[in-house]
Structure 1
Amino acid sequence: MKKTNLVLALVFAGQLTVLGQQNETVGKSPWGSDDEIGSLNLMSNSTRFEVLSQIKSGKTYDLSVEYFVGMPSFHALGDPPYQYWLTHTPHGTIVDNPNGLGEAMNRKVSYTGDAISMYTHMGTHIDALNHFGLNGKIWNGFTPEEHLGDKGWKKTGAETIPPIIARGVMIDVKSSKGFLPKNYRITEYDLQEALKKQGVVLKPGDVVVIRTGQAEFYEDADHYLDNYPGISLAAVKWLIEDQGIMLLGADNLSFEAFPPEREDNWVPVHTYLLAEKGVMFIEQMYLEELAKDEVYEFAFIAASLKLKGANGSPMRPMAIPMNSK
């Protein structure tokens, strides 16, 4: 990383430490009053080029899960499940003749069309900074009274999230500790031990993804949703404040574990990252192939759908090893 980017990352890690924390107050961006992307400001053309220039292999790992009817989702909170239906079928177009071209043409040219309906926080997705707030405000002091319309947020919507290219690091807690009990909270020590075993050192501006092993059960929704392990608030603070991490991700449903660590906040990790620190994160990732091949450092490349005003978006992240074995 260039010196200027390193300095910026250290300023980010230090400056935001002062904002919020114990009182859980919304953070003000060091990148200005109009900032809508928080820590993703740590990316620049030079940091992206630096990462891409280190790619040594064409092998690519897909870090996303599949979407299907019956997939795990937040049904308990009343959010809609994934739905899929066919809008056109080859035989249906023969019968209905929707294009008006007649039976002969529709028998010759088969036509299939489909549609989906889904919650934006299903499958592999990124949480935008407007997803959770504190005391009536979201990141950088934006308020629903001024910035939330009937068609979504006017600030920090998913359309503002830039394509992400950065050094990626997987912290394989599952391999380091073995099976994680239900509701287990991953500690700072767990992360440090896994990194030590992997021989990897974190750098400011990294994308860090955490393997709990929960993705093994993704196709069994009941198992996947059942009291899954997640990261602790202290471990997240260590990653952000001490290591200057730009973006986080994990392979479980909701990143943090439940029940919550604080009695006065049901999602303290979410609000700490999104509202206090301006750090987005990716949930429901697939990290099993990376773990199988012991790929811990890679070029992380991802982009989300530009859903205007939305508080989250599906994402298909990829990992490309930066050093061939």
Structure 2
Amino acid sequence: MRKTSFVLALLLAGQLTVLGQQTETVGKSPWGSDDEIGSLNLMSNYTRFEVLSQIKSGKTYDLSVDYFVGMPSFHSLGDPGYQYWLTHTPNGTAVDNPNGLGKAMNRKVSYTGDAISMYTHMGTHIDALNHFGLNGKIWNGFTPEKHLGDKGWKKTGAETIPPIIARGVMIDVKSSKGIFPENYRITVNDLQDALKKQRLKLQPGDFVVMRTGQAEFYEDANHYLDNYPGISLDAVKWLIEEQGTMLLGADNLSFEAFPPEREDNWVPVHTYLLAEKGVMFIEQMYLEELAKDEVYEFAFIAASLKLKGASGSPLRPLAIPIKSE
């Protein structure tokens, strides 16, 4: 019964192509008028158990990057960078005595506390479906007039994103293609060539992550942000419409390359995925260890922070190798 439900879900997902937004209008969800998670509806207890049952070892890869002052960010658009500050230090607590227990106690029990401030689309994070819309609407026809309050969106906020467990496939375009020209747009052929070299085929419901090698420069923000490669709109359409990909990811700043490939849309890949197809994606992942060990197929496990109403959230994705069929 569970497997039948999964197949039906995949058939429904195929309707996203039929509802095809060639004129760039927001998609209507095949999962109903209240749907807030789009293609993540393809997950089920069956699909999660299926991939977990294929784990072949306990080795785990952390696919997230560090957060630190000076880390790469979207500061060019006016968004705040990452800030960190100490709220309590061992010596300061002894001097200030904030707990009223005296210097002797505060010398004995050292106390350190800290705080951060950051844009939600920094570091390894997932874009929620309200992040980008088209013509005044976001995925499934939700509008800011009805669904956006002063404290965030009432629909498709980051708190609605479920824990993700799925078959993961890394397409190592960097190893397959080599050095990229500036602002290179990764094509369908690039993806197919890499998959052929890796002897892997995609399956409906996969999490597909693309390695550009950009994470190698993450500690150097200027280099990391400079003319990085990204996926083309045609390649994304191939993944979604022909391969049935459920979730996407990459190791660059914003998944697609700039300047935009369309004159009438400055983020055509973002709007196609989020607004038209209801497909979320993860940016700024760390894939270098997977590439080094040539791990291309894995159980992908991730959960984002439940930031109510937010357009995105940090998350800590993990990869555990699975057996190949």
Q: TM tier, shorter chain?
A: over 0.9
Aligned counterparts of 1:281 and 1:184: Cα–Cα separation in 2? 19
Q: Which amino acid aligns with 2:231?
A: I
Identity %: 88
Partner of 1:142: 142
Partner of 2:95: 95
Partner of 2:21: 21
| Superposition deviation, residue 22 in structure 1 | 2.0
- CA offset digits 1:274-315 (Å, max 9, x no partner): 000000000000000000000000000000000000000001
Q: Which amino acid aligns with 1:95?
A: V
Aligned counterparts of 1:33 and 1:42: Cα–Cα separation in 2? 16
Output the TM-score relative to the length of structure 1. Answer: 0.98
| Superposition deviation, residue 181 in structure 1 | 1.5
Partner of 1:9: 10
- CA offset digits 1:151-188 (Å, max 9, x no partner): 00000000000000000000000000011121000000
Aligned counterparts of 1:257 and 1:10: Cα–Cα separation in 2? 31
Structure 2 runs not aligned, ≥5 long = none
Output the TM-score relative to the length of structure 2. Answer: 0.98
Q: Secondary structure at the match of 1:210?
A: strand
CA contact (8 A) 1:10 1:244 kept: no
Q: Which amino acid aligns with 1:199?
A: R
Aligned counterparts of 2:20 and 2:259: Cα–Cα separation in 1? 22
Q: Secondary structure at the match of 2:210?
A: strand
| Superposition deviation, residue 15 in structure 1 | 0.9
| Superposition deviation, residue 323 in structure 1 | 2.3
CA contact (8 A) 1:127 1:312 kept: yes
Q: Secondary structure at the match of 2:22?
A: helix
Q: Which amino acid aligns with 1:216?
A: E
Aligned counterparts of 1:149 and 1:20: Cα–Cα separation in 2? 30
Partner of 2:256: 256
Aligned counterparts of 2:287 and 2:61: Cα–Cα separation in 1? 9
CA contact (8 A) 1:168 1:208 kept: yes
Aligned counterparts of 1:183 and 1:19: Cα–Cα separation in 2? 31
Aligned counterparts of 1:176 and 1:158: Cα–Cα separation in 2? 34
Aligned counterparts of 2:231 and 2:56: Cα–Cα separation in 1? 32
Q: Which amino acid aligns with 1:19?
A: L
CA contact (8 A) 1:182 1:227 kept: yes
Partner of 1:34: 34
Partner of 1:269: 269
- Equivalent positions of 1:229-240 (< 5 A) are 229-240=229-240
Aligned counterparts of 1:71 and 1:207: Cα–Cα separation in 2? 26
| Superposition deviation, residue 200 in structure 1 | 0.5
Aligned counterparts of 1:11 and 1:110: Cα–Cα separation in 2? 57
| Superposition deviation, residue 20 in structure 1 | 4.0
Give the ranges of 4+ consecutive aligned residues of structure 1 lying more than 3 Å apart after TM superposition. Answer: 1-4
